[in-house]
Amino acid sequence: MVRDPSAWSIEYEGWLEKQPDCTCGVFTVTQQGEDPQRVEVMTTVQIEGMLAREMGKEALSDDERSRLLEGAGRRLISECIEQEGRVRPMLYLTGQIFRSRGAERRLLEECGLL
């Protein structure tokens, strides 16, 4: 089932630390005519570290983390809508998103970090 995510509004609310090794971007997602839904996009320090190294750094700053979670979160939410026709309350930014060669760099470019 392929759905058009343009009928949905995706608003980034910010990020928070869920656990010492896990951060989460918080989004409000609304389909036209429906109640808003809260969606959390989780990532780990390992994923953040891998992306920081791609940028030539040891760690992401708070601003870089926010930009990464916003960009990657919007992408994951849109993909979920396209594939499933709905959103899930929790999505994960995992190594799976980096299946193709150069995916890390493309994601950082999409988020305006490179």
Percentage above 70 pLDDT, the chain = 94
Residues 42 and 34 sit within 8 Å (Cβ to Cβ): no
Position 113 confidence tier, pLDDT thresholds 50, 70, 90:
confident
Distance, CA of 36 to CA of 29 (rounded, Å): 6
List pLDDT tens digits, range 25-75.
999 999 988 899 999 999 999 999 989 999 999 999 999 999 999 999 999
Residues 94 and 53 sit within 8 Å (Cβ to Cβ): no
Domains and their CATH numbers in the chain: 5-110 (3.30.160)
The pTM assigned to this predicted structure is 0.87
Per-residue model confidence (pLDDT) at position 111 = 86
Question: Residue 90 above 90 pLDDT?
Answer: yes
Which of 58, 55, 61, 63 lies closest to 107 in space, CA to CA? Answer: 55
